[in-house]
Amino acid sequence: MSDLRDLYQEVILDHNRRPRNFGPLPEATRAADGYNPLCGDRLRVAVHLDVDRIADIRFEGSGCAISKASASLMTESVKGRTLAEVDALFQGFHQMVTASPGTPPDAALGKLTVLAGVGEFPMRVKCATLAWHTLKAALHDPNAIATTE
Ligand code: ZN
């Protein structure tokens, strides 16, 4: 059995303490708000979309360490990617955190795999996927408010 402490690896703690791409994005062309009522995490994801590529992305808000670290890692992973690549990453990430415990994560997810352990804590899966649901809402349905419910 893995310990809850294993979930809070150094990379996750670092991204929580010093979130990357955190703050407002004045030149944003898309944005959406996300809310995870189970934990109280609230995020706003803003994107500067250049045709079908994410030229820049920032997030703001407050939440638990997992939601913040996941948002930070997400912004690093999707910056410069096309919408199709982002969809594929989201699918892979979602599969990883909902896979049965012990399933090796897809190496194509890169540093996102530090969140693989979240799958053993169902309450935390919603924290980890909130930023992704919010990004998806911003890209596909800009007027939506994303929720994990
Ligand atoms: Zn949370």
pLDDT for 45-98, tens place per residue?
999 999 999 999 999 999 999 999 999 999 999 999 999 999 999 999 999 999
Q: Is pLDDT of 149 > 70?
A: no
Ligand 1 mean position, distance from CA 123 (Å): 8
C-alpha 88/C-alpha 43 separation (Å) is 22
38 and 148 Cβ atoms separated by less than 8 Å: yes
The model's pTM: 0.91
Look at residues 144, 124, 139, 3 and name the one whose alpha carbon lies nearest to residue 69.
Answer: 124
Provide the percentage of residues in the chain whose pLDDT is more than 90: 75
Give the model's pLDDT for residue 2: 56
C-alpha 7/C-alpha 52 separation (Å) is 34
Q: Tell whether domain 2-144 is in CATH 3.40.50.300.
A: no
Ligand 1 mean position, distance from CA 102 (Å): 22
Which are the contacts of 60, defined by CB distance < 8 A and separation ≥ 6? 22, 23, 24, 43, 44, 46
Average predicted confidence (pLDDT) for the chain: 91
Ligand 1 mean position, distance from CA 38 (Å): 8
Ligand 1 mean position, distance from CA 51 (Å): 32
44 and 107 Cβ atoms separated by less than 8 Å: no
C-alpha 40/C-alpha 28 separation (Å) is 25
- 28-50, pLDDT tens digit by residue? 999 999 999 999 999 999 999 99
Give the model's pLDDT for residue 129: 97
Ligand 1 mean position, distance from CA 62 (Å): 9
Confidence of residue 105 (pLDDT cuts 50, 70, 90): confident
Ligand 1 mean position, distance from CA 42 (Å): 9
Ligand 1 mean position, distance from CA 66 (Å): 6
Ligand 1 mean position, distance from CA 13 (Å): 14
